[in-house]
Structure 1
Amino acid sequence: MTNRVVTLAHYYTQPEIQQMADKVGDSLELSLYAREAEADTIVFAGVRFMAETAKILNPQARVILPDAGSTCSLVTQTDVTALKRWRESHPDHVHVSYINSSAQHKALSDWIVTSRNVDDIIAHLYAEGKKVIFSPDRNMGAYLNYQYGYDMPLWSAVCEVHDKFNEAALQEAFDAVPGSKYLIAHPESPLPVLKKADYVGSTSGMLNWVKAYQGDARAVIFVATEDGILYNMGLARPDLDLRQAPIYAGCQCNSCPYMKMNTIEAVRRAQQGEGTEIDYLGEAEMAAARVPIERMLEFSRRYYA
């Protein structure tokens, strides 16, 4: 009997890993692909919460994470018991959670969002007269509160990669460029950095911004996100001067250590059936987590169709 293996890779993995994949994308794209994949085995070259999401959306498939250690600081910084108490302390609020969260976290949520659809989903909820609490990413929530005048109570976890970007290092880099310069940034970055950005958006959103750029060809475009996406941006626009935003003076070296655990050897082993299988989630837990994810996917299908 043939075992159909589908390999998914996030933009933040190494170029050689992306070249091994059937689908490369951001969290929303990969979630949709995993849901519809006609696969016996899904190899998810990303981090654990992504593989868990794939299992939740496609429970019949065997889902394998190449390296057991590829977690996410937004997950490790969130105590689910404390999160449950926090949610219960806001009984009249809708709990919106970023997809960068554990299955247990998702099961305590009313809506799941990605960086691509978070603005639209929260705007939709406020338009309906709802009050919102937002978890786990404090930086993303702070930006939404600032940008739209919301007063959402926020959980207090951060992405350890994006949180390293800082205004002082960025200003120093800007000052060293005599001509035109731009900053595009992921909303997981700190608010002072996001306030300086010409564009704030998801991984795919930033990639599309670069693809569509028609400004000064000599401009320097600083990118405040994980360095993996620079590969895709460079392929799309080799004519542009694209640089990762610095985390301190002189350093453009900000990588997610968990994404980089997806080595060629680890992915090959996973494609052969070895690795960390996502087989520890209970049916009730997956069913509870699936509800807010499907709510997001249905909204995205209608809103972005």
Structure 2
Amino acid sequence: MEKEAFIQEVRRLKAERQAVILAHSYQLPEVQEVADFVGDSLGLAREAQRTRAKVIVFCGVHFMAETAAILNPEKTVLLPDLEAGCSLADSIRPEDVLAWKAKHPDGLVVAYVNTKAEVKALADVCVTSANAVEVVSRLPQDRPIYFVPDMFLGAHVARMTGRKLDLFPGECHVHAGIREEHLKALLETHPDAEFLIHPECGCGTGCLYLKPDAKMLSTEGMVRYAKAAERRTFVVATEVGILHRLEKEAPGKAFFPVKPDAVCEYMKRITLEKVYLSLKEMRHVVRVPEEVARKARRALEAMVAVG
């Protein structure tokens, strides 16, 4: 089947199933183009919570579909490819959180949304890169905090809030691979460009040292900033899927990736054909056991309410 035929079939089946298609900004361009909503983890969680559709086709990775299922127990959540996982979410186990809680009975666990449902169920609050600083800044000052699982985002939050955080040593393999040497090369090539850097990036502190006016932003923050900025040229440090959305929503501006091969192979597992098959065959339904979902829902609802 040709691309245009897939698009028409997806639209027909979407109406037939009373479905909504949600896509992350790192998805393939053709998947973003058939989605009803494209955004970051926080935006997608909010959209999943407010939709009236009976079926949610989640074009993202597994933990995102789990989040949608937790927030919408009465709806059917589909993930077009069950192998669309996440190296960061896989890095931490519930046992890691329980071990810290045993040593810090009065402590608070802040879980980045890039975690499995079982870890979220042990958290006091979930966060995204868009609202992590705001959430942590509101927590009681007299209680220890365990930030899991991304150590680079955690270091950014600690720097911005001035709070001491215990950090789990996890990382996204794509963002961790964006290093200072990649930034230096772009500094020389595009000295007048604005630099937009995701807080999960491994270059973190070093990037701010090399480029003090760089903007540390979530994916959604990058889109908002680029649209409003007077500058016409931007260097972008995150997964390259964001470039399609940036070019679409900020036309006439130029965007250059710090690392052109910063590609999440898990995100790219979702294809237009798989979205079609997901709707046609109602594959693959994502479910979370109610006992886990009930506990995780509390932490996720706290996340959605902030920022």
| TM > 0.5 fold call | yes
Shift of 1:86: 2.3
The one-letter amino acid paired with 1:12 is Y
The one-letter amino acid paired with 2:234 is I
Separation of aligned partners in 2, 1:292 and 1:176: 44
The one-letter amino acid paired with 2:155 is A
Equivalence for 1:70: 84
CA contact (8 A) 2:136 2:161 kept: no
Deviations 1:71-104 (CA, angstroms, capped at 9, x unpaired): 1111111122223212322222111110111000
- Number of residues of Structure 1 aligned to a counterpart in Structure 2: 288
Equivalence for 2:9: none
Shift of 1:129: 4.1
Identical-residue share of aligned pairs (%): 34
Separation of aligned partners in 1, 2:228 and 2:142: 36
Q: Which moved more, 1:156-165 or 1:143-152?
A: 143-152
Show the 5 A alignment for 1:143-292.
Answer: 143-177=156-190, 179-190=191-202, 191-195=204-208, 196=211, 198-215=214-231, 217=232, 220-246=233-259, 252-279=260-287, 281-292=288-299
CA contact (8 A) 2:117 2:293 kept: yes
Whether 1:137 and 2:150 are equivalent positions in the alignment is yes
Secondary structure of the equivalent of 2:236?
Answer: strand
Shift of 1:257: 0.6
CA contact (8 A) 2:108 2:124 kept: yes
Separation of aligned partners in 1, 2:176 and 2:303: 26
Secondary structure of the equivalent of 2:186?
Answer: helix
Q: Which moved more, 1:166-175 or 1:193-202?
A: 193-202
Query: Which residue, out of 95, 100, 105, partners 1:91?
Result: 105
Deviations 1:19-42 (CA, angstroms, capped at 9, x unpaired): 111111111111111112222211
The root-mean-square deviation of aligned C-alpha atoms, in Å, is 1.6
Shift of 1:14: 1.0
CA contact (8 A) 1:131 1:152 kept: yes
Shift of 1:61: 0.9
Secondary structure of the equivalent of 1:19?
Answer: helix
Whether 1:293 and 2:306 are equivalent positions in the alignment is no
CA contact (8 A) 1:109 1:289 kept: yes
Any stretches of 5+ residues in structure 2 without a counterpart?
Answer: 1-15
Shift of 1:176: 2.9
Shift of 1:295: 1.5
Shift of 1:173: 2.2
CA contact (8 A) 1:194 1:200 kept: no
The one-letter amino acid paired with 2:229 is Y
Normalised TM-score (structure 1): 0.90
Secondary structure of the equivalent of 1:255?
Answer: coil
Deviations 1:106-126 (CA, angstroms, capped at 9, x unpaired): 001000011111111101114
Separation of aligned partners in 1, 2:153 and 2:165: 11
Secondary structure of the equivalent of 1:151?
Answer: coil
Bigger fraction of residues in helix: 2
Secondary structure of the equivalent of 2:299?
Answer: helix
Separation of aligned partners in 2, 1:275 and 1:78: 27
Separation of aligned partners in 2, 1:270 and 1:263: 10
Any stretches of 5+ residues in structure 1 without a counterpart?
Answer: 247-251
The one-letter amino acid paired with 1:67 is D
Equivalence for 2:60: 46
Equivalence for 1:35: 49
Deviations 1:40-78 (CA, angstroms, capped at 9, x unpaired): 211100000000000000011111110011011111111
